[in-house]
Structure 1
Amino acid sequence: MKIFISIIVLLSLIGCSKKKSENQNIVYYKKHGQLQIAVYEKFSQDRDRTQYFETDSGEYLAVWNKIGPAIEIISLQDKLSKARIPIFKDGPDRVGVTNGFFIASQDSILLASIPPTVFILDFQGKVKSQTSINNPENVVNYLTSTNETPFLFNGSTLYGAQPFFKNIYQINESEASNSKLIYTINLANKTDQEAKWLPVYRPKDVWKDGKKSVDFTWADRGDSIIISPNTDHRLSVISKESGELVENIEAKSKSIDDFRIINGYPVGDQAVIDNLTKGHYDLLLQDKYRDVFYRFYFVGINWEEYGLSPMELKTNPPKVGVMVLDKNLNVIGEHLFENHELEKWNYFVGRGGLYVSTNNPNRDDFDENFLRYDIIRFEGLEYED
């Protein structure tokens, strides 16, 4: 009997050792530091668009200032604004209704505008050129370069996303799965800058469990584009070279099981409440320094427990999670921020780690006079310092 028990214990230890070995790549969250930037009186950040970039002179953050409006270029070294790029709403350089930007180089900005037009601006806000986005077979009703679906740009070719429908309540599954998602423009070709559409579609079974949101976010990694649907565990890998779908990869959060099903037109706050009850995925960010991805998500909650209106909770969800995916999109770690720790959509990746905004208005220490980011690192990933 003693020999039998000893064998069981030995096998148990071997099993535990093997399990630990299989999970050795799991990464763990830790707070590395904080970035705090004081802002001047005529500054109001639009959290929908924040872009980190580097030059020979250091690290910078491009932030949309709603007052002006303007794009502020802030140095992360001395935490001061180094340039203020005006966005003109009248005159010869007017750009219409703006919806995000992309810093393409040290003297060029790609600006998304509505009616759907891509403007190329210099750092004085002057319009260098513009291209209308249209296609009789795939009508563009929305143009964006926000944190959700920023322009992807490789120096000559611009990739843009078309995630939305005019009326999701009337569209059927066939229409949803046959609409193209990605257009490209060759900005280096001065004689032909017409938008070309890639043969990339949503999965045919997109609504097999019922009609859901078709919104998505995306990121790129060299020769690939990764599409992250808000209401699908699968990620779609698109080849830039062929312009086609390579594969769908399951990347499920342990905190999300199902999604809100759309049943008819919304009435009052019910659709908002239904969204809060069910979780969904959010931004997808690539970390080129560690060659990983971060897939954010919102956890389903009981809104009545928080003492806030459904709309207040939708605008600033109390629980925000982040998954860490390796270069092959395998899930290697996950962390949940609770109690209004983060501000929705306001995250970026820098050389120092993952920066997440803590300027959630529902926090007791919220202060509109500062931009505040926690610098997050994950044990198991490599950092330069």
Structure 2
Amino acid sequence: MSFPKDYFKKGYFPISSISSAGDGSQLAFSLPCDHHIYFTKDGNNLDRKIAKSKYIDEFVPKGGNPYEYFAENPFYGSLYFDPYRNLFFRIVKHPYKKAAELGINHCYDYPPAFSIQILDNEFNLLGEQKINGLKYSMYVLFIHPDGIYISSSNPKNDNTKEDKLDFQLFEIHDVFDKS
């Protein structure tokens, strides 16, 4: 298997930022600066399907301060498989050009705007829901029979307590938006 040759030429994220998820019959991969989902059913042949976020217009080549780059520019984050609903979810970090106002380090650790893409097991994009990154953390979530639990332990969330890790349940009908 090989990855897009032009990905590295464009100066995007290193391959170490790849995310993967499997459903038992196929393994899927997502690159931070690529709208496609790559997948293999046999471990030898790699196919791909476009799953472009409505919140990403373009990717910006990496450069300068890495914290500032990650805080301000869009990318695709983790890919998850939901075995209870036979769906895939992909996290999308949105562009945010006001990172200096909130603090570069804060926007790096807690991106102010992100969404969750919902894909079927053939990687057709079913919907995408924007999530308030000033209240929730795109890096701390888990899949459960009831839905997706996303951490609400965010320093910008007024209800956050330093000694407690809180999660909010998002039922699939709550995050399902076909617009």
TM-score (norm 1): 0.42
Residue 288 in 1 paired to residue 83 in 2?
A: yes
User: 1:283 is matched by which residue type in structure 2?
Assistant: S
Residue 256 in 1 paired to residue 50 in 2?
A: no
Whole-angstrom distance in 2 between the partners of 1:317 and 1:380: 21
**Higher helix proportion (structure 1 or 2):** 2
| CA apart distance, 1:284 | 0.8
Residue 340 in 1 paired to residue 141 in 2?
A: no
TM-score (norm 2): 0.87
SS in 2 for 1:206: helix
Equivalent residue number for residue 5 of structure 2: 204
Whole-angstrom distance in 1 between the partners of 2:174 and 2:113: 24
Q: Structure 1 residues 380 and 271, CA, compared in 2 at 3 Å: closer, same or farther?
A: closer
Whole-angstrom distance in 2 between the partners of 1:304 and 1:318: 9
Q: CA RMSD in A?
A: 2.0
Residue 238 in 1 paired to residue 51 in 2?
A: no
Q: Structure 1 residues 276 and 260, CA, compared in 2 at 3 Å: closer, same or farther?
A: farther
Matches within 5 A, 1:265-304: 266=64, 270-304=65-99
Aligned length: 173
Whole-angstrom distance in 2 between the partners of 1:212 and 1:291: 31
Whole-angstrom distance in 1 between the partners of 2:143 and 2:133: 23
SS in 1 for 2:69: helix
Once superposed, which parts of structure 1, at least 4 consecutive aligned residues long, lie more than 6 Å away?
none
**Higher strand proportion (structure 1 or 2):** 1
User: CA offsets, 1:199-248, max 9 Å, x none?
Assistant: x221223245x210032111001121100111111111022xx3213311
Residue 228 in 1 paired to residue 30 in 2?
A: yes
Indicate conservation of the 8 Å contact 2:19/2:30, yes or no: yes
Residue 322 in 1 paired to residue 130 in 2?
A: no
| CA apart distance, 1:297 | 1.1
User: 2:114 is matched by which residue type in structure 1?
Assistant: V
What runs of 5+ residues in structure 2 fail to find an aligned partner? none
Whole-angstrom distance in 1 between the partners of 2:99 and 2:112: 12
User: How many percent identity over aligned positions?
Assistant: 24
Whole-angstrom distance in 1 between the partners of 2:28 and 2:117: 15
Matches within 5 A, 1:27-38: none
Indicate conservation of the 8 Å contact 1:283/1:295, yes or no: yes
